[in-house]
Chain A
Amino acid sequence: NAGVMQNPRHLVRRRGQEARLRCSPMKGHSHVYWYRQLPEEGLKFMVYLQKENIIDESGMPKERFSAEFPKEGPSILRIQQVVRGDSAAYFCASSPQGGKLNTGELFFGEGSRLTVL
């Protein structure tokens, strides 16, 4: 059973370009979470999605960032018009259940490291 797959593992963009990060959850998992990790910081929650629904986006910046988890295909985190401050590691996690039904164990991918020049 493959784990959470994220790609690309490394992405370099120039200021003003768009970044798209993809996440395929573990088989059988319909709940996906995105976290951002800045240097010397812990992970910060960004968004929690179920298939075709955004459940909690309280951690998403109001502008330039969006996320989706379509019925078919991976979850996508999209960052438009990237700036240097967007440079970070972006982690995706999945779980078989969500909300308070989840035991708290999230299965994390190895992350996508975005560098903005």
Chain B
Amino acid sequence: SYILTQPPSVSVAPGQTARISCGGKDIEGRSVHWFQLKPGQLPLLVISHDSDRPSGIPERFSGSNSGNTATLTISRVEAADEADYYCQVWDTTSDQVAFGGGTKLTVL
């Protein structure tokens, strides 16, 4: 199965930029999606297909994908952005979904 690697945690001060990486072999050839999970709330799609921002997601959220790393970037971080973030791809080799292990974003 396809392995996606995320840092367990990222910390950033309010107003700064948070970057959450998602590593995978040749991931640039795959379409990466990002989800935000907050306790007691529905998981929320924040970036689809590497860099598309769904309706209602602030422009502060952006995504990129190159080489072996996809990145979720959150600019001008706010306290409300504190959450767990997961990357996800569809692996055509195994016909399975792969999730990264998740990254806990802490706003200092």
- Do the two chains bind? no
Q: Report which A residues bind B (CB closer than 8 A).
A: none
Q: Report which B residues bind A (CB closer than 8 A).
A: none
